[in-house]
Amino acid sequence: MPLSLTGRLALFFALVVSIALASMGAFAYYSLAVQLESRDNEVIRGKLEQVEHFLREVEGIDDVPAAQHRFDDMVRGYADLIVRVSARDGRLLFSTSDGAPRDFGQPRRDAGDSFMGLIRSADAVLGKDGTRVIVVIGATGEDRREVTGRFRTTLLLGTTIGVVLTAMAGAAITRRELQPTHALIKQTNRISVERLSYRVEIPFKPTEVQDIARAFNEMLQRLEDGYVKLSRFSADLAHDLRTPLNNLIGHAEVALSRDRTPSEYVVLIEESLLEYQRLARMIDAMLFLARADSAKVTLDVSTISLHRELKKLSAYFEMLAEERGIAIAVNGDATLEVDSILFQRAIHNLLSNAVRHARSGTTIKIAVVKEEAGCLIEVANWGDTIPEEDLAFIFERFYRGDAARSNSSQSTGLGLSIVRSIMDLHGGRAEVVSEPNGATRFRLWFPTTRPNNLALG
């Protein structure tokens, strides 16, 4: 079973502290051992000089054993100190009571010798007769080993206690610091589809949880906006689908109400065909928008001449424009790297919208403005001014102002949404401005440098 964040952090703290304490303990233990050994060396050196000085005052070799009390005074207070004085022929003249081996102080000793102390030896000259003797002084190291052993035990015990206390303190601190996270989890559990307007409280600390809470609230805002748009989309879709379906049902009921002449059936079929075509356009637009939203539209990018493409598209609308007494003018030129099919579709939707809403006797003006960072295409027509409150929603799906709702049979309400999706795919933007004099300007801005995600698939 995986550990919680509290448990993992507690173990992490314990591991870090154990490594730190072990490192400091090892350094302290090594330093203590070195200092004790250095101290023993100093003691042995000093005692060796003291014994040599004493021997220079002795009358002869036979007086050395008689000076037992003098040697005992020298080693008093040093329980592990060993002093031996030997004649050159190997005869032991003096020795403190100890458990050292008989070859103590000799140049060669067996590898199995259990004596692990420090040894110093020197030749000394007796003061009166000049006889040379061998002085060997050593320390068994028992005191040193006892001190270092107690220190090691204390160190291990202290390290263990420190690690346990650190783990407990780390767990308590982590649990306390994670309380805002637990409170955030409780708040998020209250959120449902019916409560998308709910926002979690941003805690006073820590900053990381504050960032999570803010990001979560921003996500909730996006979800709420998307849910509202989806609800409105569903309502508008039901409204727009209901009209052609009712018309088709009406045509069928009329056709079945009595016998009809062939010409009457032809008229009913033609009227039904118009409704079918309208439904087909609506479904095609919806499928395109769904694919654009899920990034499944592949862009076939090529370099086009804007003036030539715009003249070609305007020629397509010339006959319809002439019927309404409207002229179309194209000004400016530039080359642009775009998906030509999608570009034509975006301009087609704007021109279709402009011809439908332009006032008779006016001119639809298409202008190309080359900029340093991109290219601006403006389609302007003169008609009724779009209310300010409608401008913010004009690119939304199925959105049409109430005044234009009567034109719903000629429009799917998705044309401008498709324009915005095409601009998003190209990394550009779509804007609209409606002036008090009736001029409505739709502006498409294409970047000169293509974004990395332009070629989608």
Checking 357-360 for CB contacts under 8 A at 24+ apart, the result is 357/381, 357/383, 357/384, 357/404, 357/440, 358/324, 358/326, 358/382, 358/383, 359/383, 359/384, 359/438, 360/324, 360/325, 360/326
| pLDDT computed for residue 441 by the predictor | 92
Q: Where in the chain is the domain with CATH 3.30.565.10?
A: 296-447
pLDDT tens profile 149-206: 888 888 888 888 888 888 888 788 877 777 777 787 888 887 877 777 778 788 777 7
Q: What is the pLDDT of residue 404?
A: 41
pLDDT band at 4 (very low <50, low <70, confident <90, very high): confident
The alpha carbon dihedral of 297, 302, 306, 307 has a sign of negative
β-pair partners for 441:
380, 433
CATH class belonging to 207-291: mainly alpha
Q: How far apart are CA 8 and CA 3, in angstroms?
A: 6
- CATH 1.10.287 range(s) for the chain read 207-291
The angle, 0 to 180 degrees and rounded to 10, between the axes of the packed helices 262-293 and 415-425 is 30
pTM of the model: 0.50
What is the tens place of the pLDDT at every residue in 22-37? 888 888 888 888 888 8
In whole angstroms, give the CA distance from residue 276 to residue 270.
10
* Model pLDDT for residues 266-314, shown as the tens digit of each residue: 888 888 887 788 788 777 777 776 666 656 567 788 888 999 999 988 8
CA-atom Rg of the chain in angstroms: 51
Q: Which amino acid, one-letter code, is at 145?
A: R
Residue 436, pLDDT above cutoff 70: yes
- What is the average pLDDT score of the chain? 78
What percent of the chain has pLDDT above 90?
10
Alpha helical stretches, state H, 365-444: 388-391, 415-425
Q: State the pLDDT confidence band at 127, using cuts at 50, 70 and 90.
A: low
Average pLDDT, integer, range 241-247: 77
User: Confidence band (pLDDT; 50, 70, 90) for 405?
Assistant: very low
Predicted local distance difference test score (pLDDT) of residue 328: 92
Is 3's pLDDT higher than 60?
A: yes
- Lowest-pLDDT choice from 82-96, 201-215, 224-238, 355-369: 224-238
pLDDT band at 456 (very low <50, low <70, confident <90, very high): very low
Between CA 132 and CA 428 the distance in angstroms is: 107
In this prediction, residues 75-97 reach a mean pLDDT of 76
d(CA 81, CA 77): 9
Contact 380, 365 (CB under 8 A): yes
Q: List the CATH code of the domain at 296-447.
A: 3.30.565.10
* 62 or 296, greater pLDDT: 62
* Window from 220-224, 294-298, 338-342, 409-413 with minimum mean pLDDT: 409-413
* pLDDT score at 412: 63
